[in-house]
Structure 1
């Protein structure tokens, strides 16, 4: 999964109108079958059974400057919308196609008479509020670098940002049969050619503070999950970092009294780590609207977490919970 940076400043009147028309209000496929080819409509309906999807597009640019960048994009990639020095919205590219007629109908044309004909539909969208300065520091960019035109990040930068913000790909079009067959042939050839060692010694780096964290949170061989409140044996509880450990400073990692909470391995650790729940100011559990799209997760949250207040919250721990809310929690897209 690569990361695509899509400049879209909502402070600009035209961009805001486009955002309202096709992001806040998804596009209904049946309204546009006269300008969309039947194959694209069928693929959209297969990906979005409710018959509508959020859509965006890219102009070819002067002398086709954007076309080479667009060709690097593919279904399954993640797109970030940026503007006014922030990343504010994102989602998975579900499908890509080209339609000058539909783009003109939805968004009109720009001052040069071009339209946003290189189109894509989005799935699994969520809101963000991440300063571009934070992205610059994370990826080691020049302090003056801005996101000026649509661009596709390289594998290393994409992976770093994906891990940092706990991005997960949503529904996307599958590759065509030819690509699937080629992948299968490569995999079969790799298996047939394997002649390496069958047994290897596995080594795992131990986090120095983990044992101390667990001891500080568990007493008498048992403890209570901070999220669901269940009292469980220590074997079913882990010392979960409130703020993603990889993003903690050394000082934060040593803040053993505040940086972690007990979370059960029966579900709470996973839904917190993947951003389907978070802890608000005062300890009120907040539930991501995206959880409703996964029935098993929604059922777990409704059964164990809905309406709860987390007693583990304190003002000292609030900065760590605040980081989780702004970087990991799956916010609703901004309206």
Structure 2
């Protein structure tokens, strides 16, 4: 999975109109059946059974400068929308196609007479609130580097963002050729199958758990159940890899006990977060995974998290803006 950076400044009138027309208000396929090829509309309806999807597009650019970049994009890749110095929206590319007539109907043309004909539909979309400066630091970019045009990050940068921001791939029309290539790559892999854990990291985790679990049992911060220590872990409120050294050493606030029966996983993958009032907030995307939704409704929804305090709010805030699967901004 690659990460695609899509510049889209909503402070610009035209971009905001496009965002309202095809992101806030998904495109209904049957409304444009006269312009969509039969194979494309069939694929879209398989991917989106409710008959609509959020869509975006890319112009070819002067002398087709964007085409080589577009050719690097594939279904299953993640897209970050950026503008006004922030990453604010993202999702998985579910399907890609080229349709100049439909793009013109949806978005018109730019001053040069071009339209956003290289189109894609998005699934699993969510909101973010991440300063571009933070992305620069995370990926080791030049401090003055800006996201000026559509671009596809390299594998290393993509893996870093996918791991540290917990980007789960949603429904996509993955090509058979891509699947075969993935299988061949796995078969040919001859690298190390295990990574050696650093002793300092293990020591830190042990110290965290000792501090949080002051006996043979403890209470899960999220569901509130009292459980044997074996079934509780010291879960970082803010992802550890994103913490500064000082934050990692803030043992009193950086972590909480979370049970391995589900709470750690749903928090880690952003299906729940904790509000500034200390209440469990549920992601709207949880409804797409019935088993996850059922667990949350039974154990977590609406609970007050006693572990929340003002001194821990900074870490919970990071989780809300980086990991939580928030509603896309309107």
Above 0.5 in TM-score? yes
Deviation at 1:282, TM superposition (A): 2.6
Q: Determine the structure 2 residue equivalent to 1:315.
A: 310
1:83–1:262 CA distance, 2 compared to 1 (3 A): same
TM-score by length of structure 1 reads 0.93
Q: Determine the structure 2 residue equivalent to 1:237.
A: 232
Distance, in Å, in 2 between the alignment partners of 1:29 and 1:159 is: 33
The 4+ residue runs of structure 1 with deviation greater than 4 A are: 178-188, 200-203
Q: Determine the structure 1 residue equivalent to 2:273.
A: 278
Deviation at 1:203, TM superposition (A): 4.9
Establish whether residue 254 from structure 1 lines up as the match of residue 252 from structure 2.
Answer: no
Q: Determine the structure 1 residue equivalent to 2:152.
A: 152
Deviation at 1:219, TM superposition (A): 2.7
1:133–1:115 CA distance, 2 compared to 1 (3 A): same
Q: Determine the structure 2 residue equivalent to 1:13.
A: 13
Deviation at 1:253, TM superposition (A): 1.3
Q: SS at 1:282's partner residue?
A: coil
Q: Determine the structure 2 residue equivalent to 1:301.
A: 296
Q: Determine the structure 2 residue equivalent to 1:31.
A: 31
Q: Determine the structure 2 residue equivalent to 1:228.
A: 223
Deviation at 1:123, TM superposition (A): 0.2
Deviation at 1:181, TM superposition (A): 5.0
Q: Determine the structure 2 residue equivalent to 1:95.
A: 95
Deviation at 1:139, TM superposition (A): 1.1
Q: SS at 2:173's partner residue?
A: coil
Deviation at 1:322, TM superposition (A): 1.1
Q: Determine the structure 2 residue equivalent to 1:140.
A: 140
Distance, in Å, in 1 between the alignment partners of 2:305 and 2:209 is: 19
Q: SS at 2:311's partner residue?
A: coil
1:101–1:270 CA distance, 2 compared to 1 (3 A): same
Establish whether residue 333 from structure 1 lines up as the match of residue 321 from structure 2.
Answer: no
Of residues 190, 207, 210 in structure 2, which corresponds to 1:212?
207
Q: SS at 1:319's partner residue?
A: helix
Q: Encode CA deviations 1:109-138: one digit per residue, 9 max, x unaligned.
A: 111111100000000000011111111111
Distance, in Å, in 2 between the alignment partners of 1:129 and 1:181 is: 36
1:95–1:234 CA distance, 2 compared to 1 (3 A): same
TM-score by length of structure 2 reads 0.95
Deviation at 1:220, TM superposition (A): 2.7
Deviation at 1:145, TM superposition (A): 1.0
Deviation at 1:186, TM superposition (A): 6.6
Q: SS at 1:281's partner residue?
A: coil
Q: SS at 2:285's partner residue?
A: helix
Q: SS at 1:306's partner residue?
A: coil
Distance, in Å, in 1 between the alignment partners of 2:224 and 2:308 is: 13
Aligned residue pairs: how many? 328
Rg: which structure is higher?
A: 1
1:182–1:155 CA distance, 2 compared to 1 (3 A): closer
Distance, in Å, in 1 between the alignment partners of 2:128 and 2:215 is: 41
Q: Encode CA deviations 1:139-173: one digit per residue, 9 max, x unaligned.
A: 11111111111000101111111122111111000
1:33-182 mapped onto 2 (5 Å cutoff) = 33-176=33-176, 178-180=177-179
Deviation at 1:205, TM superposition (A): 3.3
